[in-house]
Amino acid sequence: GAGVSQSPSNKVTEKGKDVELRCDPISGHTALYWYRQSLGQGLEFLIYFQGNSAPDKSGLPSDRFSAERTGGSVSTLTIQRTQQEDSAVYLCASSGRGDQPQHFGDGTRLSIL
Amino acid sequence: AQRVTQPEKLLSVFKGAPVELKCNYSYSGSPELFWYVQYSRQRLQLLLRHISRESIKGFTADLNKGETSFHLKKPFAQEEDSAMYYCALGAGAGGTSYGKLTFGQGTILTVHP
């Protein structure tokens, strides 16, 4: 497809488990962003990639969160030892350059039991 | 620090009435402002970008640096405008800045028939 693709669309897991969320950006987009959308917190920036490098990880809430990007394309956000407060919709966006408008995926709805 | 404030969580108007969604920002650099919209069961999508100075779906927004505002306006609201609207601030244009976005809390607009 032509848009940003995220998988899975929904993920339910038990507290303490690790989860991996995947983002496939628009082909050719060099910039990739992860955001989190939760009740009461709105949309929060997590991490930004330019190519495979992450010059800004300032939004990652704790060291349980990490992300990587390979081949300048697909990115994976990993949450270790999940907690209930991690429940949210995790959104991925990509843009052609850092100053171009961002295009968002449908998100992954993560529920921690 | 960057901050975006959308003072109205909910806004209701009748079809054909004018609508204004308020957005104020705080940023010491050169701001880049956006309006994103999320219709029911759809992904977040770009509505307007201040540098484009265009009208999309009848909506306009003017950047007022003196009042640090970027209010979204439409003279005659339509039922299909019902959605969640987010105002967002980019890290600034030029130099090595990039498109990390800081979002407001969002305003749910309901247009009644």
- Please report the domains of chain B, with CATH numbers, ordered by start residue: 3-112 (2.60.40.10)
- Separation CA B94–CA B75 (nearest Å): 33
Cα B85 from Cα B72, distance rounded (Å): 9
Alpha-carbon span B109 to B73, nearest angstrom:
12
Q: For position A89, which CATH number holds?
A: 2.60.40.10
CB-based contact B98 A50, cutoff 8 Å: yes
pLDDT at position A45 over 50: yes
Nearest to B99 among A3, A102, A107 (CB): A102
A26 is in which domain, residue-wise?
5-112
Query: With bands split at pLDDT 50, 70 and 90, how would you rate the model's confidence at B95?
Result: very low
* Contacting residues of B for A55, CB less than 8 Å apart: 98
DSSP codes, B11-75: EEEETTS-EEE--EEE-SS--EEEEEEE-TTS--EEEEETTT---BTTBEE--BTTTTB--EEES
| Residue of chain B minimizing CA distance to A5 | B43
Task: Name every chain A residue with its beta carbon within 8 A of the beta carbon of B104.
Answer: 42
| A5 three-class SS | strand
Q: Which amino acid type is present at position B103? A: F
Closest B-chain CA to A41: B105
Q: Considering CB atoms only, which of B44, B49, B100 is closest to A56?
A: B100
What is the domain count for chain A? Answer: 1
pLDDT, tens digit, 9 for 90 and up, residues B35-57? 999 999 999 999 998 877 778 89
Q: With bands split at pLDDT 50, 70 and 90, how would you rate the model's confidence at A100?
A: confident
Structure-block tokens of residue B31: 């701001």
Q: Which of B44, B38, B25 lies closest to B91 in space, CA to CA?
A: B25
**Distance (Å) from the alpha carbon of B47 to chain A's nearest alpha carbon:** 10
User: Which DSSP string do the residues of A94-107 spell out, in sequence order?
Assistant: EESSTTSPPEE---
Structure tokens at A18: 């690790």
| Whether A42 and B46 lie within 8 Å, measured CB to CB | no
Whether residue A102 is predicted with pLDDT greater than 60 in this model: the reply is: yes
Query: Which has more confidence, B62 or A81?
Result: A81
pLDDT at A21 over 80: yes
| Average pLDDT value for chain B | 89
The C-alpha of B65 sits at a distance from chain A's nearest C-alpha, in angstroms, of 20
Is the CB of B99 less than 8 angstroms away from the CB of A104? no
Question: Which tokens belong to B20?
Answer: 């204004």
